[in-house]
Structure 1
Amino acid sequence: MELIMQPWPWYVSGPLIVLVMALLILMGKRFGMSTNLETMCSISGAGRFVDYFKTDVKSKIWSLMVVLGVVFGGFLGANLLSENRGVAISESSVTTLNELGFSSAGKAYLPSELFSLESLSNPFTWVILLVAGFLVGFGARYAGGCTSGHAISGLSNLQLPSLVAVLGFFVGGLVMIHLLFPLIF
Structure 2
Amino acid sequence: MLQAVFLISGLFVQNKNMNWILEPWPWYVSGPLIALTMFLLIFMGRQFGMSSNLRTMCSMCGADRKADFFDFDWKAQQWNLLVVLGAVIGGFIAHFYLSDAPTTVAISSETIQDLNNLGFESAGNAYLPTELFSTSVFSEPLTIVLLLIGGVLIGFGARYAGGCTSGHAISGLSNLQIPSLIAVIGFFIGGLVMIHFLYPLIF
**Length-normalised TM-score, structure 1:** 0.93
Q: Which amino acid counterpart does residue 164 of structure 1 have in structure 2?
A: I
- Out of 53, 63, 66, the residue aligned to residue 36 of structure 1 is 53
**Distance in 1 (alpha carbons) for counterparts of 2:156 and 2:108:** 31
SS in 1 for 2:91: helix
* 1:27 corresponds to: 44
* 2:71 corresponds to: 54
Residue 51 (structure 1) shift: 2.7
Residue 67 (structure 1) shift: 0.6
- Out of 69, 74, 79, the residue aligned to residue 91 of structure 2 is 74
1:87-106 to structure 2, matched below 5 A, reads: 87-106=105-124
SS in 2 for 1:176: helix
Q: Which amino acid counterpart does residue 123 of structure 1 have in structure 2?
A: P
Gaps of 5+ in 2: 1-17
**Distance in 1 (alpha carbons) for counterparts of 2:44 and 2:28:** 25
Residue-pair matches, total:
185
**Distance in 2 (alpha carbons) for counterparts of 1:88 and 1:68:** 28
**Distance in 1 (alpha carbons) for counterparts of 2:29 and 2:183:** 26
Q: Which amino acid counterpart does residue 4 of structure 1 have in structure 2?
A: I
**Contact in 1 for aligned 2:50/2:167 (Cα 8 Å):** yes
Q: Which amino acid counterpart does residue 41 of structure 1 have in structure 2?
A: C
Say which is worse superposed, 107-116 or 36-45, in terms of deviation.
Answer: 107-116
**Contact in 1 for aligned 2:54/2:155 (Cα 8 Å):** no
**Contact in 1 for aligned 2:52/2:159 (Cα 8 Å):** no
* 1:120 corresponds to: 138
Greater C-alpha radius of gyration: 2
Closer, same or farther: CA 170–89 of 1 in aligned 2, 3 Å: same
Say what the alpha-carbon RMSD is for the aligned residues: 1.5
Q: Within the alignment, does 1:162 sit opposite 2:188 as a pair?
A: no
Q: Which amino acid counterpart does residue 31 of structure 1 have in structure 2?
A: F
Gaps of 5+ in 1: none
* 2:80 corresponds to: 63
